[in-house]
Structure 1
Amino acid sequence: MSRVLLDNESDTWSRACSLILLGFICYALPWSVFAAQQTEASLLRIQGSNTIGAKLGPALVKGMLEAQGYSAISLQPGSVENEQKIVATSDKGQAVTVDLAAHGSSTGFVGLRDGSADIAAASRPIKDAEVASLANLGDMKSRDAEQVIAIDGLAIILHPSNPISSLRTDQLAQVFSGEISNWEQLGGPPGEIHLYARDDNSGTYDTFKELVLSANGKSLAASARRFESNDKLSDTVSSDPQGIGFTGLPSIRQAKALAIASGESQPMLPTRTAIATEDYPLSRRLYLYNSPNQSKPWVNALVNFAHSPRGQAIVAQNGFISQTVSAVKVSPTNDMPDAYQQLSTDAQRLSVNFRFAEGSADLDNKALRDLNRVMDYLTVHDKLHQKVVLAGFGDPKSDPARAELLSKLRAMAVRRELARQGVIFKDIIGLGDVLPVAANDSEGRIKNRRVEVWVY
């Protein structure tokens, strides 16, 4: 019996010593280190587009954390290619992380569905099938769920030595489907065309497929070499004199960008103004999507920061086109209607177009936010009274007078919203189907139905 007691006493004494030692260690360690180890947590999990996730996403997260008072912010590579971890420390010594995986837009929506992501980054709008699969999270096409954070141009790139300077979207479709396989067929030097494309998970590929291939009834040739990364694709094209590829605007790098025409539009280079107004045929929006039914403070913090002037400055710093409104001088040309030539001569165009939800007379989610951006510009630059002209455009109708009327009604819809905030207009005009920026197919009609803002 005495031995049993002795053993129990020994165990008790050992446990007591262990607790004392642990307490000494905890006291001796710097409290900030101990707290950081115990409170490290993932604030946000972002999955999706490589176009966003490679540089822009981490930069926006870093800016948001700085704005929230975090310090010692660092980017660390993940264990898998195209994954990153943003690590920061609060003023109380708490370590936090944001996990970012950039394997393509479709993977972001999968992450929302299976609960492994808080935000889906996408370089294309959400598809109807994805909306249906995420119905339990709320209306994923609503303003609370869909956030346009930047505008990008899908650049068609060649080797710098290639003499071809412009192509139509139907020619691009023939090239990437393999129907045109030699540069000589396009007026270039003889030689086989080498195709480079993003992979199937990529929103960049989805955009190219929708705007170029599917719009012309084509499919990507099996011979195309596929890439998960924009930058790697661009670097490969710029080292191949017979190569052609497509990539996001910040990834043009050393390659040569082509001017692109769609339908009756004039060939346009992916310039900042043409992309900001979304007139460039291969312009596209970059999105963040989140559940409107699940309000998470850090999700809201990132969304609000991305929309803020500081967030949009980061967008521009990373090579994308911000949504900050500016005035641009447009040179008049002979193909412009008289009223539009007069505007070009006497006024400046704002770097934003108002567009409408598909099949609707309502402004789309981007336009609803652009109302505030335009109001801020007009207020700061003293343009609220008799200094604004709205010009509406549309798609062709069997009766030109009807096309003109509908285009003016679109301008009146924007007028109604801005007038509520005190804008008194100089004029409202409808120009019908002139000056198209896209072919008048299903997607092109949406782009052609637009309202421009001009200021004196």
Structure 2
Amino acid sequence: MKYMLILMSAFASLTASMTHAEAPARFSDLPLNGEVQVFSVQGSNTIGAALGPELIRRYLEQKGAEDVTIEPTKVANEVIVSGRVPATLTRVYAKVAAHGSGTGFVGLADKSADIAAASRPIKDAEADTLHALGDMRAPESEHIIGIDGLAIIVNPNNPIAELSVDEIAQIFSGGYTDWSQVGGRPGPIHLYARDENSGTWDSFAGMVLGKRALLQGTRRFESSDELSAVVAEDINGIGFVGLSSVHKSRLLAVSDGSSKALKPNKLTVGTEDYALARRLFMYTNAKTENPYVNEFIDFVQDDMGQKVVAETGFVSQELQAVTPEFYAELPQDFRDLTADAQRLTINFRFQEGSAHLDNKGLQDVERLVSYLQQKGQSEIVLIGFGDRKRSERRAELLSRLRAMAVRRELVRNGIYPKEAIGYGEQMPIASLDHEEGKQKNRRVEVWIRQPGVHAKNS
């Protein structure tokens, strides 16, 4: 009964609108021959280097601006995106300052920024500082714009193929100093890391180092692209960057605990199964009176904006059906259940002991419904997983309730999954020994197959 109440309460608010209701801000209403700043973005270098400016460029073009350009300012890692409105000859522009995720929240606080770009979630202290703007973790303020994989990169001639999260932590904290200690060729390990202001560094510190400290003397970079270029030239180098900055270096497969080592790709990053997958965020003042801000956020999360996310090297939230790699450790009944099926690049994730979807999950329900309606007839299988509980039975029950919660929302939209089952703590994709890993394992996978193609033993 307890779990059914959890399930019901979780979806009571699921139908709340995720779009902004303000009237469109028309460029044609702007004053003649004027100059108007539509908004400013501060924060993540990962977003601000290319993705943010390109999103703004496409947004301005969609609204009718012409001759849109992205021009650097005299300050490093800052650009101005501007265009001309033909009807009024008005110049419209937006500023982007990419000096690290933390600087975006400072910008929101002192009102020098309308949008904070971040490659990590807002911290408690930052949310407290911004409490006057409302709940910064509410769907109206926290916007997931895409997924990035934190790539662990080495020189193309380095024979190492994979590392565990613990091995990476040992390397960057000085526990391992020679490649032979992790199965490589003898040689000193050269460390390259992002600077303290970057969300890339915050993500690495949180997902990999934990309480360990970065080895003193590690070379630091403000630019991910520059870091990657140095690693590509250093046979003994290792570093970490966002997926869009791998370039000529080579990325490694990464494992967490006893989970299988995975390389970051559309499926593993899109589903956040990859050990070092991370969400990309934009944060706004939910009470903003600037209509361009809300309109831009809606554009970013729509199909056209997500296309830009993919084009700039990140993983969009656009759903795709992918045939995954099956490995020997998979249970036979799971193989039978998913035979001839494809997995969608989406996972629904939940908080401890609940069926409450997070902000991404709320958006993804809408995306999944739209995708399935466009696809037409498909057999849908929802498979729930969980973290370790006092008993396997309890873990299995809760994982099944989560799958049923997703099923219920699909049924409300006229879509009827064939199966909604739970596998409990089986097939973990991350370590069950820490909270971040447990949260990753609390998931519902979505599989589809064409009608008339039946799973084995069905």
Q: Indicate whether the TM-score tops 0.5.
A: yes
* 295-304 or 309-318, which deviates more: 295-304
Structure 1 distance, partners of 2:303, 2:170, is 41
Partner of 1:325: 319
Residue 346 of structure 1 and its aligned partner are, at CA, apart by: 2.7
Residue 343 of structure 1 and its aligned partner are, at CA, apart by: 3.1
Matched, 1:454 2:447: yes
Within a 5 Å distance, the mapping from 1:272-351 to structure 2 comes to 272-351=266-345
Q: Which amino acid aligns with 1:421?
A: N
Counterpart among 240, 244, 247 of residue 241 in structure 2: 247
Q: Which structure 2 segments of 5+ residues have no match?
A: 1-29, 450-458
SS at match of 2:383: strand
Partner of 1:390: 382
Residue 209 of structure 1 and its aligned partner are, at CA, apart by: 0.5
Counterpart among 413, 421, 424 of residue 416 in structure 2: 424
Structure 1 distance, partners of 2:436, 2:181, is 28
Larger Rg: 1
Structure 1 distance, partners of 2:348, 2:246, is 28
Matched, 1:444 2:440: no
SS at match of 1:321: coil
Residue 383 of structure 1 and its aligned partner are, at CA, apart by: 3.4
Counterpart among 88, 94, 112 of residue 90 in structure 2: 94
Counterpart among 204, 223, 237 of residue 208 in structure 1: 204
Partner of 1:28: none
Structure 2 distance, partners of 1:173, 1:332, is 28
Structure 2 distance, partners of 1:340, 1:186, is 33
Counterpart among 326, 349, 361 of residue 355 in structure 2: 361
Identity rate, percent: 49
Structure 2 distance, partners of 1:344, 1:427, is 11
Summarize deviations over 1:231-270 as a string: whole Å, max 9, x none.
Answer: 0000011111111000000100000101000012101111
Summarize deviations over 1:140-192 as a string: whole Å, max 9, x none.
Answer: 00001111111100000001111111000000000000111111111212221
SS at match of 2:339: helix
Q: Which amino acid aligns with 1:347?
A: A
Question: Which of 1 and 2 has higher RCO (CA within 8 Å, sep 6+)?
Answer: 2
Matched, 1:84 2:79: yes
Partner of 2:456: none
Residue 417 of structure 1 and its aligned partner are, at CA, apart by: 1.6
Structure 2 distance, partners of 1:430, 1:59, is 41
SS at match of 2:262: coil
SS at match of 1:346: coil
Contact 1:332 1:345 in 2 (8 A): no
SS at match of 2:41: strand
Residue 349 of structure 1 and its aligned partner are, at CA, apart by: 1.0
Contact 1:59 1:314 in 2 (8 A): yes
Residue 437 of structure 1 and its aligned partner are, at CA, apart by: 1.0
Q: Which structure 1 segments of 5+ residues have no match?
A: 1-34
Name the one with the larger helix percent. Answer: 1
C-alpha spacing 1:326/1:343, structure 2 compared with 1 (3 Å): farther
Residue 334 of structure 1 and its aligned partner are, at CA, apart by: 3.0
How much is the aligned-residue C-alpha RMSD, in angstroms? 1.4
SS at match of 1:335: coil
Residue 331 of structure 1 and its aligned partner are, at CA, apart by: 4.1
Q: Which amino acid aligns with 2:103?
A: T
Matched, 1:376 2:370: yes
Structure 2 distance, partners of 1:423, 1:280, is 29
C-alpha spacing 1:378/1:37, structure 2 compared with 1 (3 Å): closer
Residue 420 of structure 1 and its aligned partner are, at CA, apart by: 1.1
Partner of 1:54: 49
Structure 2 distance, partners of 1:37, 1:244, is 54
Partner of 1:152: 148
SS at match of 1:354: strand
Contact 2:34 2:89 in 1 (8 A): no
Residue 443 of structure 1 and its aligned partner are, at CA, apart by: 0.8
Matched, 1:127 2:119: no
SS at match of 1:396: coil
Contact 1:51 1:204 in 2 (8 A): yes
Residue 286 of structure 1 and its aligned partner are, at CA, apart by: 0.4
Structure 2 distance, partners of 1:324, 1:192, is 42
Structure 2 distance, partners of 1:179, 1:399, is 36
Matched, 1:67 2:62: yes
Counterpart among 259, 264, 271 of residue 270 in structure 1: 264
Structure 1 distance, partners of 2:333, 2:74, is 59
Contact 1:333 1:341 in 2 (8 A): no
Matched, 1:258 2:252: yes
Matched, 1:226 2:220: yes
Residue 296 of structure 1 and its aligned partner are, at CA, apart by: 2.1
C-alpha spacing 1:104/1:377, structure 2 compared with 1 (3 Å): same
Structure 1 distance, partners of 2:207, 2:168, is 10
Structure 2 distance, partners of 1:335, 1:119, is 45
Partner of 1:175: 171
